[in-house]
C-alpha cells in the first residue's frame, strides 16, 4: 500500500501552504469589511444591504471593490473605534482609582500654587480635565 504523502513534492507542499495562507488572509479581509459595513454610521441600511449582497454574490470582486471605494473610511473608522476604546478605558481607570474631575482640578491648583506648573500649562491641563 502506497502512502499519499509520497505523492507530494516540495513544490506542491509550498503551494498548498501559500494557498491556505492566502485563503485565511481573504477570510480576515472579508470579516474586516463586514465589520466596517455594519459599524459605518455614514451608510444607510439599503446601502449596507447592497454591499453585503455584492460581497455574497461576487466575493473576491465585492471585497476588492469595497477596499478600493471605502478603504480610507475603514481606516478612519478604526481610528475612531480605537479612540473610543481608549476614552472608555481612561474613564474606567479614573473611576477605579477614585479620582473625579474635581480631584484632578484640586491637584492641578495645588501644583500651580507650589509653582510646579505655570498659568498657561494649568489652563491647558484644566481644559483637558474639563473636556
Helix (H, G, I), strand (E, B) or coil at 32: helix
Task: Give, in order, the Cα–Cα distances in Å from 120 to each of 103, 123, 130, 131.
Answer: 20, 5, 15, 17
Which single residue is written with the C-alpha cell 475612531? 80
d(CA 52, CA 29): 14
Provide mean pLDDT across the span 94-109.
Answer: 79
Domain residue ranges in the chain: 4-70
User: Is the full-model pTM beyond 0.75?
Assistant: no
Q: Are 63 and 55 in contact (CB under 8 A)?
A: yes
d(CA 97, CA 130): 18
pLDDT, tens digit, for every residue of 40-89?
Answer: 888 888 999 999 999 999 989 999 999 999 988 888 888 998 999 999 99
pLDDT, tens digit, for every residue of 23-41?
Answer: 999 999 999 999 999 988 8
Amino acid at each position: 500500500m502506497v502512502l499519499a504523502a509520497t505523492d507530494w513534492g516540495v513544490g506542491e507542499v509550498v503551494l498548498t501552504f501559500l494557498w491556505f495562507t492566502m485563503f485565511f488572509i481573504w477570510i480576515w479581509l472579508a470579516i474586516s469589511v463586514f465589520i466596517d459595513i455594519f459599524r459605518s454610521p455614514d451608510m444607510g441600511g439599503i446601502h449596507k444591504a447592497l454591499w453585503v449582497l455584492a460581497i455574497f454574490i461576487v466575493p473576491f470582486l465585492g471585497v476588492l471593490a469595497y477596499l478600493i471605494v471605502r478603504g480610507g473610511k475603514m481606516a478612519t473608522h478604526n481610528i475612531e473605534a480605537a479612540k473610543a476604546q481608549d476614552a472608555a478605558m481612561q474613564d474606567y481607570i479614573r473611576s477605579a482609582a477614585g479620582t473625579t474631575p474635581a480631584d484632578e482640578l484640586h491637584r492641578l491648583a495645588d501644583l500651580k500654587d507650589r509653582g510646579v506648573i505655570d498659568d498657561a500649562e494649568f489652563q491647558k491641563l484644566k481644559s483637558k480635565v474639563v473636556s
